[in-house]
């Protein structure tokens, strides 16, 4: 019995791959079932988003070209001039939204980066505690924290008093970002609130990407004659780019549509486009205008996001 | 010279700490003013110390009802979004199929959309379908915007899991169901927990989307918003502080539990 | 034909193949029997249709560079990969359509795949529990003793060293008393010293439990140390199979000759065939090759690759050429390079028959004249010469370093 001890390999009688031995039907059935699995898993989640996210968007698109009133009902009349009228009436609020949220995003990056860097490379055994302190404000209501800023920046607050004493507010008022001896109800207050509220959205992605950077790279760069600043500019910062992009988007997008900060910390002069959409929808009941404004805002945001996504790739963000 | 050198070396840490202070100060203000006894309706200036608000946290009409409603909404929305999001995340992380890229885009879009746009759109739909605004419309909206965040958190975790662990389970006589319950789920748990926690926080805290879909129902953020116009009661600060403290304690407890378990074994 | 002979010729091998295909159908003693099994991914063929029979109780190694299809073959036996064609039989039963959890085989995974959320005890008990066995304590304790980990039962995998993790992986698989234990590069993550130690330990365990082991590795030394039978795979095909010594002494292709150890391959022309011996010529030198050790059927005027292992060659200074006994194969050359590696000195010789001949000389009595530039004569017993088909790539299997990441696309040996 040679087979028992002398195993032998060789090509199959018919090595032609075009005529493989038939597979058991059970295997084919199992393979078919496996192909169906992802679709079954996706079904509920995707259906939810299609019905409650995509469908409303489509509906909103049709609303934006309707005319009519609440009493008579609205009809699709392809009234595209709603877009133009809405933009014409509210373009200052658009500009303010983009400018305020843009400045807030840059500020978030500027002041969030040192903290993210500290947590990633310098915090040592404090790392988890500091991370908790960054995340914890999330759990106090957004509104309550914004109201706290109302207290901090109130006219009679010690901070504003101090800023007046050192005449800093004279300088900022001259620059047009505050008014007189007040901070409340000025662009400064709104930007300050926006920066504060969206700062964690910047810090966390930054930290995530910095954490992946091997600390030895700093030593390697130093070994290769890079000063600490050059090391940061040529090694650390480029490696943290995914975090920068993600953080920028996560800050800019919600900030641009936000109206809580503008409403609570600003005056009518600092109204952002979110306020307009909200009041058109909930108070004026002019749904076509609210829809058109939403779409204009969405288009602007998407255009900005696309530019970013092209650079970073969606896989990194999703 | 020494302090200057120290400062140069630790400049980034100094800035980091300042940022941390910036992040924490409003919470401290909330804490401080929860012990205030304001003269008028506006709780902006420090008057005198009092524990009245802490003794009667529900002393303001409607506040605790709205708080209960928000907690209930957050729990339901968390369960819904976590279940749907986890299933979606597994499909995206584990399978190659037609429409995967489109699905990724669909998941990404709600996160790239200003809340005011999503809220207004969904509100318009409900309005035109003549659906009564209330608890259920808010819940639908909350699950919708929490879903993507759960998908992202779970997907990241699942993608970092070694597929060989599940193969090893199958090799060791675990049926697909057993493999999922004994290996996949425990391994994916941190991601699912992160997604659920985020959902809870987002749902509990949401004002903008809720305001478009709430009708006359008042959630806690809506109560705060309403009260901000006519003077916020001190009790709001009490709730804010309590939430902050509970959250920090829970996270710390989780950390301690994790590290002590690691030490014992 | 109970054991492969050391010097069997190609004709014998073919006869064996026929014999096996004829008789194995009614041979339930086989632990694993693959028939025409193949795997294709799109247009890429990972494993060409393949027949393979592993006898029960043997320690069997699948050896090849990464990407050669050995792991895919192993995974098809485990059920983790569905074959594109063919069938898998375990102990006589067809399991092709069975999912992995219904097959009586267990796997030791590459990098072990220990469950990070379970401790050592629970990792080892996993399979027993899944099969509904309630009282696992005694069995697990015994198994942990077998792999000498009794004291670490409550540790988590990340608290163990690489060698300890490896033992847990083996224990976790073995406790289920599988018909076949599959090992996928089980020692790849260990350092050299530990690897040596674990090789012996795995061999000990295999002898102790008597279970059939199928071991996938890219390390030829590991395969030869541990296995009774080695199958050398290349580009989705089995190039040659046999006992380690047999493969080493009688490589059937240039790939095997170069992949297992190193070989000096000399391109020659057949000058004459005289019964049992062939006379070969290369650059004026004459070599003798026993006809039984020549793989291709050759006639006078044909071409053949004559191979000889570096350690079979004796190196003599050209001045001593007269002292070489008659009847040995001789080749003249010049020393190009020599490196001292302790047990032996490795010489590279430039010779008219081949520009880079390797010779390993044991460091017994070192000849001070053997320095680079010195004229030398290489001589060896003609019985140690082997003949290979000259149509093959002479360098097949050389660039596939044991740790090479690259595939074996270039090494497409024509044999098998």
Domain ranges for chain A? 90-317
Burial of C48 (0-12, 13-18, 19+ CB in 10 A): buried
Please report the pLDDT score of residue C134 as a whole number.
87
Residue B73 contacts C, CB cutoff 8 Å: no
Q: Give the neighbours of chain C: at least 3 Cβ pairs within 8 Å.
A: A, B
Q: C219: helix, coil or strand?
A: coil
End-to-end distance of chain A based on CA atoms, in angstroms? 61
Closest CA to A91 of A281, A276, A314: A276
For chain C, the 3-state helix, strand and coil shares in percent, each to the nearest 5, are 30, 35, 40
The answer to whether B115 and B208 have CB atoms below 8 angstroms apart is yes
What pLDDT, on the 0 to 100 scale, is given for residue B1?
A: 59
Side-chain half-sphere CA neighbours of B75 within 13 A? 5
Q: Which CATH class is domain A90-317?
A: mainly alpha
Which parts of B95-184 fold into alpha helices (H)? Answer: 100-108, 115-128, 135-159, 163-171, 176-179
pLDDT beyond 50 at C409: no
**What's the pLDDT tens digit per position in B163-219?**
899 999 999 999 989 999 999 999 999 899 989 988 998 999 899 999 999 989 999
Say if residue C25's pLDDT is above 80.
no
Task: Indicate the pLDDT class of residue C408, thresholds 50, 70 and 90.
Answer: very low
Q: How many CB atoms lie within 10 A of CB A88?
A: 9
CB contact under 8 A, B105 and A138: no
Question: At C213, phi and psi to the nearest 5?
Answer: -110, 135
Neighbours of C23 (CB within 10 A): 13
In this predicted structure, what is the pLDDT of residue C380? 94
Q: Report the range of poorest mean pLDDT among A62-76, C227-241, C295-309.
A: A62-76
Q: Which residue of chain B is at minimal alpha-carbon distance from C124?
A: B172
What is the pLDDT, as a whole number, of residue B72?
Answer: 96
Lowest mean pLDDT among A72-86, B231-245, C147-161, C375-389: A72-86
Nearest to C229 by CA among A245, A9, B57: A9
Sequence ranges of the domains in chain B: 70-162+188-226
Instruction: Give the number of residues written for chain B.
Output: 265
The count of CB pairs under 8 A between chains A and B is 276
- B227 touches B61 (CB < 8 A): no
CA atoms within 13 A of residue C152's CA, in its CB half-sphere: 24
Q: How far is CA C397 from CA C262, C310, C394, in A?
A: 10, 16, 9
Pairing of strands C105-108, C180-184: parallel
Quick: pLDDT tens for C237-266: 899 999 999 999 999 999 999 999 899 999
B256: Cβ contacts below 8 Å, ≥ 6 apart: none
Select the CATH number that applies to the domain covering C263-389 from these four: 3.40.50.880, 2.40.50.1020, 3.40.50.2000, 2.40.50.100.
2.40.50.100
* Euclidean distance between CA atoms C362 and A135, whole angstroms: 68
Which are the contacts of C60, defined by CB distance < 8 A and separation ≥ 6? A7, C54, C212, C213, C214, C215, C227, C228, C229, C230, C231
What fold characterizes domain C10-14+28-249? Rossmann fold (3.40.50)
Which pLDDT tens digit goes with each residue over C199-209? 888 898 898 88
Task: Determine the pLDDT at residue B252.
Answer: 81
Query: Domain coordinates of chain C in residue numbers?
Result: 10-14+28-249, 263-389
**Tokens coding C67:** 């990407």
Mean pLDDT by 10 residues, chain A (318 residues): 40 41 68 82 93 92 81 76 88 91 94 93 85 81 88 86 85 81 88 92 91 84 83 86 88 91 88 89 85 90 79 50
Q: List the beta strands (DSSP E) in chain A.
A: 10-11, 66-69, 73-76
Residue with tokens 């698989």: C173
For the structural domain made of B70-162+188-226, what CATH number should be given?
1.10.3720.10
Residue A313's pLDDT is: 53
Quote the tokens at residue C246.
């047999």
Residue to mutate among B157, B166, B171, B259, with most C CBs inside 10 A, is B171
Q: In this predicted structure, what is the pLDDT of residue C399?
A: 64
**How far A212 CA sits from the closest chain C CA (Å)?**
20
Q: What does the mean pLDDT of chain C come to?
A: 85
Instruction: Give residue C24's pLDDT band: very low, low, confident or very high (50, 70, 90).
Output: very low
Chosen for mutation from B114, B157, B236 (greatest number of chain A CBs closer than 10 Å) is B114
* Burial of residue B217 (number of CB atoms within 10 Å: 0-12, 13-18, 19+): middle
Model confidence pLDDT, tens digit, residues B119-165:
999 998 998 888 999 999 999 999 999 999 999 999 999 998 988 99
3-state secondary structure A68-100: EECCCEEEECCCCHHHHHHHHHHHHHHHHHHHH
Nearest CA in chain C to A8: C17
User: What's the gap in Å between the CA of A286 and the closest CA on chain C?
Assistant: 56
Pairing of strands C59-63, C229-234: parallel
| Residue B30 pLDDT greater than 70, yes or no | yes
Residue B264 has pLDDT above 60, yes or no: no
- Strand spans (E) along C147-299: 180-184, 212-217, 229-234, 237-242, 264-274, 277-282, 285-290
What is the distance between the alpha carbons of residues B201 and C302, in angstroms, rounded to a whole number?
A: 82
In chain A, whose CA is at the least distance from the CA of B117?
Answer: A294
The neighbours of chain B, by the rule of 3 or more Cβ pairs under 8 Å, are A, C
Which of B118, C97, B180 has its CA nearest to residue A41? B180
State CA C320 to chain mean position distance: 38
């Amino acid at each position: 019995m040679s087979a028992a001890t002398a195993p032998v390999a060789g090509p199959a009688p018919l090595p032609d791959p075009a005529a493989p031995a038939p597979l058991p039907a059970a295997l084919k059935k199992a393979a078919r079932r496996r192909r169906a699995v992802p679709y079954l898993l996706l079904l509920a989640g995707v259906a939810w988003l299609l019905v409650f996210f995509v469908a409303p968007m489509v509906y909103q698109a049709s609303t934006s070209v309707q005319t009519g009133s609440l009493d008579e009902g609205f009809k699709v009349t392809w009234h595209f001039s709603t877009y133009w009228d809405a933009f014409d009436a509210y373009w200052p609020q658009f500009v303010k939204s983009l400018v305020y949220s843009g400045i807030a995003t840059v500020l978030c990056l500027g002041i969030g980066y040192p903290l993210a860097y500290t947590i990633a490379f310098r915090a040592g055994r404090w790392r988890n505690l500091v991370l908790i302190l960054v995340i914890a404000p999330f759990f106090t209501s957004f509104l309550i924290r914004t109201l706290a800023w109302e207290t901090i920046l109130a006219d009679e607050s010690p901070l504003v008093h101090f800023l007046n004493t050192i005449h800093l507010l004279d300088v900022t008022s001259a620059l047009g970002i505050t008014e007189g001896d007040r901070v409340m109800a000025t662009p400064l207050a709104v930007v300050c609130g926006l920066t504060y509220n969206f700062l964690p959205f910047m810090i966390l992605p930054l930290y995530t990407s910095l954490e992946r950077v091997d600390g030895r790279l700093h030593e390697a760069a130093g070994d290769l004659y890079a000063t600490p600043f050059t090391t940061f500019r040529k090694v650390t910062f480029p490696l943290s780019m995914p975090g920068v992009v993600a953080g920028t988007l996560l800050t800019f997008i919600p900030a641009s549509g936000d109206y809580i900060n503008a409403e609570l910390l600003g005056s009518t002069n600092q109204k952002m486009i979110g306020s307009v959409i909200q009041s058109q929808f909930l108070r004026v009941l002019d749904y076509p205008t609210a829809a058109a404004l939403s779409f204009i805002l969405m288009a602007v945001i998407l255009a900005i996001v696309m530019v970013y996504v092209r650079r970073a790739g969606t896989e990194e963000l999703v | 010279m020494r302090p200057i050198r120290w400062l140069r070396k630790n400049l980034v840490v100094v800035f980091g700490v300042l940022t941390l202070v910036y992040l924490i100060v409003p919470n401290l203000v909330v804490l401080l003013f929860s012990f205030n006894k304001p003269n008028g309706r506006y709780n902006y200036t420090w008057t005198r110390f009092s524990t009245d608000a802490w003794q009667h946290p529900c002393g303001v009409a409607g506040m605790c009802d709205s708080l209960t409603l928000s907690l209930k909404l957050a729990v339901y929305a968390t369960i819904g979004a976590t279940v749907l999001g986890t299933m979606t995340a597994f499909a995206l992380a584990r399978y190659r199929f037609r429409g995967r890229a489109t699905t990724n885009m669909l998941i990404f879009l709600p996160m790239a959309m200003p809340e005011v746009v999503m809220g207004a759109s969904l509100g318009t739909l409900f309005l035109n379908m003549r659906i009564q605004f209330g608890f259920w419309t808010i819940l639908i909206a909350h699950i919708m915007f929490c879903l993507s965040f759960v998908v992202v958190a779970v997907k990241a975790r699942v993608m970092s899991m070694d597929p060989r662990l599940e193969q090893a389970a199958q090799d060791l006589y675990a049926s697909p169901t057993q493999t999922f319950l004994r290996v996949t789920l425990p391994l994916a748990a941190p991601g699912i927990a992160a997604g659920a926690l985020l959902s809870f926080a987002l749902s509990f805290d949401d004002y903008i989307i809720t305001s478009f879909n709430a009708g006359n129902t008042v959630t806690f953020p809506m109560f705060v918003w309403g009260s901000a116009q006519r003077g916020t009661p001190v009790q709001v600060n009490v709730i804010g502080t309590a939430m902050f403290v509970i959250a920090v304690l829970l996270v710390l407890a989780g950390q301690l539990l994790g590290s002590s378990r690691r030490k014992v074994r | 034909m109970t054991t492969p002979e050391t010097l069997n010729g190609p004709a014998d091998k073919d006869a064996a193949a026929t014999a096996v295909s004829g008789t194995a159908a009614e041979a339930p003693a086989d632990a694993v029997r693959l028939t025409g099994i193949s795997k294709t991914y799109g247009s890429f063929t990972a494993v060409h249709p393949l027949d393979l029979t592993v006898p029960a109780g043997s320690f069997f190694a699948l050896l090849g560079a990464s990407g050669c299809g050995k792991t895919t073959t192993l995974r098809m036996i485990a059920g983790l990969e569905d074959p594109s064609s063919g069938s898998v039989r375990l102990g006589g039963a067809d399991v092709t359509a069975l999912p992995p959890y219904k097959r009586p085989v267990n796997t030791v995974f590459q990098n072990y795949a220990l469950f990070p959320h379970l401790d050592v005890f629970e990792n080892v008990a996993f399979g027993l529990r899944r099969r509904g066995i309630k009282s696992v304590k005694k069995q697990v304790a015994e198994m942990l003793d077998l792999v000498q980990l009794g004291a670490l039962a409550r540790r988590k995998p990340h608290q163990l060293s690489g060698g300890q993790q490896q033992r847990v992986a083996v224990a976790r698989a073995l406790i289920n008393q599988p018909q076949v234990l599959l090992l996928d590069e089980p020692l790849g993550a260990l350092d050299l010293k530990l690897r040596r130690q674990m090789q012996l330990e795995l061999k000990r365990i295999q002898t102790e439990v008597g279970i059939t082991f199928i071991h996938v590795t890219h390390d030829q030394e590991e395969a030869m140390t541990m296995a009774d039978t080695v199958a050398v795979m290349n580009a989705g095909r089995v190039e040659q199979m046999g006992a380690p010594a047999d493969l080493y002494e009688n490589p059937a292709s240039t790939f095997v000759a170069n992949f297992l150890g190193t070989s000096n391959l000399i391109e020659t022309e057949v000058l004459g065939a005289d019964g049992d011996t062939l006379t070969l010529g290369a650059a004026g030198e004459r070599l003798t090759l026993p006809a039984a050790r020549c793989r291709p059927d050759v006639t006078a005027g044909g071409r053949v690759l004559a191979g000889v292992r570096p350690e079979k060659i004796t190196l003599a200074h050209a001045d001593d050429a007269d002292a070489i006994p008659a009847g040995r194969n001789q080749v003249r050359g010049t020393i190009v390079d020599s490196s001292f590696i302790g047990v032996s000195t490795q010489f590279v010789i430039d010779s008219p028959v081949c520009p880079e001949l390797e010779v390993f000389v044991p460091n017994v009595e070192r000849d001070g004249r053997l320095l680079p530039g010195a004229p030398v004569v290489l001589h060896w017993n003609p019985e140690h010469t082997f003949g290979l088909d000259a149509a093959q790539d002479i360098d097949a299997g050389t660039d596939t370093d044991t740790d090479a990441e690259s595939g074996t696309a270039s090494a497409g040996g024509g044999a098998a």
